[in-house]
Amino acid sequence: MKSKKETIPDPIPADAPAKKRKVSSGPIRDKARTMNKMIAAVGKVLQKKGYTGLTAPNIAKAAGVDKKLVWTYFGGIDNLVEEYISQKDFFKSTAKSDIDLLLQDPDKLTQYHINQLLQNQFDTLLTNRALQRIIHWEVGESNDILRKIADKREEIGEELFSKTIPSFEHSNVDIRARLALVISGIYYLTLHAKNNGSKFCGIDINTTEGKQRISDAIQELISDAYDKIK
């Protein structure tokens, strides 16, 4: 019986180029890592010291970097704070991919899509403490950065309305006003529940049962609007 011949790998030529090692650091990667730390530090300072604590020294200390990098990497404290808020904004971060897909769809937004966006916003605001602080800040004082973010949010809203409004053009349903009440209600109820902790109209949305009641009401209000135009 013949034994199998052992295969011996060819020797590596002496002049063969060495394999490149994966670079885990470098100027570009280090800069991106530092910038992300600084953006995250904005949230830490906001949680600990509030809006008035958002200064370059405080943010730099929380990030463990030199405060000069606030200007070197972001051009100033306002740009850094704006970047943080943009990353936390519901319509520009959490729901961005879903909204982009909806806007690419040639068909109008359906009742299902609108309800899903609102339910997602409700869930996000209930669990995202950073976003709660931003909304609270936005309604509590006048600020150029927050106004800029709010205006961009409105632009996204108008794109969505461009697909929704045609369905209600020849009806007496004011879908803009209806959605304004629903969205503002989501804002207030979540802020009230997480900061005050008490019930609102006898409903505690910190409980599963209370949250479900609001979720059902949101769906009902949207369904009612579409039922009126059938």
Mention every residue, 6+ apart, whose C-beta is less than 8 A from residue 182: 118, 218, 221, 222
Same domain, 55 and 97: no
Report the candidate in 38, 79, 80 with the shortest Cα–Cα distance to residue 61: 38
Structure confidence at residue 145 (pLDDT):
85
pLDDT at 122: 95
pLDDT digits (tens, 9 = 90+) for 149-187: 888 888 888 888 888 888 898 899 999 999 999 999 999
C-beta separation of 184 from 153 below 8 A: no
pLDDT (0 to 100) of residue 8: 44
What is the domain range of residue 48?
A: 28-78
Average pLDDT for the chain: 84
Do 103 and 74 share a structural domain?
no
Residue 112 and residue 221 share a domain: yes
Q: Which of 2-11, 31-40, 91-100, 196-205 has the weakest average pLDDT?
A: 2-11
Residue, of 21 and 77, whose pLDDT is higher: 77
Domain CATH for 166: 1.10.357
19-31 pLDDT tens trace = 555 445 566 788 8
Domain contains 105 = yes
Q: Are residues 46 and 148 in the same domain?
A: no
Contact at 8 Å (CB) between 166 and 111? no
Q: Are residues 60 and 105 in the same domain?
A: no
- Position 109 scores a pLDDT of 78
12 or 137, which is more confident: 137
Q: For the chain, what is the domain count?
A: 2
CATH of the domain at 52: 1.10.10.60
Which residue do the tokens 């729901």 mark?
A: 95
Maximum mean pLDDT: which of 102-111, 195-204, 212-221? 212-221
Same domain, residue pair 63 and 167 = no
Q: Of 60-69, 73-82, 92-101, where does mean pLDDT reach its minimum?
A: 92-101
Q: How far apart are CA 139 and CA 63, in angstroms?
A: 27
The per-residue DSSP string of 24-82 comes to ---HHHHHHHHHHHHHHHHHHHHHHH-GGG--HHHHHHHHTS-TTHHHHHHSSHHHHHH
Q: Identify the band that residue 3 occupies on the pLDDT scale cut at 50, 70 and 90.
A: very low
Structure tokens at 56: 């370059």
**8 in a structural domain:** no
What's the Rg (C-alpha) of the chain? Answer: 26
- Judge if 154 and 94 occupy the same domain: yes
What three-state secondary structure class fits 230?
coil
> With the C-alpha atoms ordered 118, 124, 129, 134, is the resulting torsion angle positive or negative?
negative
Let me know whether 114 and 159 are in one domain: yes
Residues 125, 202, single domain; the answer is yes
Is pLDDT of 87 > 70?
Answer: yes
Q: Assess whether 69 and 99 both reside in one domain.
A: no
Higher pLDDT, 120 or 8: 120
**What SS3 state is found at 7?**
coil
